[in-house]
Amino acid sequence: MTAAAFFDLDKTLMAGSSGMQFAKAARQRGLISRAQILRWGRDHLRYRIKGATDDETGEILKVARETLSGVSYNEISRMWPEVLAGILPRIYPEMLAEVHRHQDEGRRTYIVSAAGSDMVESLAQVLGMDGGIGTRYVVEEGAYTGALDGPFVYGRGKVIAIEEIAEQVDLDLEGSWAYSDSASDLPMLELVGNAVAVNPDAPLLEVARREGWKVMRFERLGRNLAIGGTVAGALLVGGLGGWLSRRST
């Protein structure tokens, strides 16, 4: 059996929320209103400071489902290069180093996030990871219906998704690692043998100290990434854009 390392995305692998990058791209395409983007910006700032509650996360899912309903799959797919170009400069270099360390030691590496599966899989592809596990939405006749295709990959939903992958590729979860910033990910952290709290919120920090888990802190966003934001954006538009187009055909 092979061990793996599972990384939460928002405030763990990257600074801030990937949802804000999606919101910016969606606004430019007229999928959401100016009032919505301003409200999301306010919520994003609050999230950067103190995290999000389960109720707030549920509201985000509700808005995402309403936003996607009736929108063509191709239109959303064409947004991913722009969204990822906004995410890449926010990747913590310390966490990228952790990804590489696990790879060098023979472990598979995955992003596990409530964000849309296509975006999560695309980001994992760009970072050279084994896979991305995200929330899937139903597509019928080339358009999103707004319904979920499987679990909402949040809280216990992450456990369900990870266990499915573990069964498919024969992973040793007891020998695996998981990284997160939030107590909402305690089910995922408790699923594996090695849990790591990254820039943890207060409830998670309390559990980490009690359980003797490793704690990593680096609140300030690193600017000197191995993947430079400008270069990454150009590569994404030229390279990943073609890859995504091939996937949608």
Radius of gyration of the chain (CA): 17
Residue 172 annotated in active site? no
Residue 55 annotated in active site? no
Phi, psi of 197 (to 5 degrees): -95, 125
CA distance 19 to 142: 23
CA distance 241 to 79: 9
Of the residues 10, 43, 118, 130, only one is catalytic, namely 10
CB 195 within 8 A of CB 178: yes
CB 115 within 8 A of CB 134: yes
Of the residues 8, 43, 118, 185, only one is catalytic, namely 8
Given phi > 0 = left and psi -120 to 50 = alpha, else beta, which region is 34? alpha
Classify strands 214-216 and 131-135 as parallel, antiparallel or unpaired. Answer: unpaired
CA distance 189 to 48: 21
Closest CA to 78 of 118, 124, 35: 118
Burial 172-210 (b: 16+ CB within 10 A, else e): ebeebbbbbbbbbbbbbbebbeebbbbbbbeebbebbee
Residues that are catalytic: 8, 10
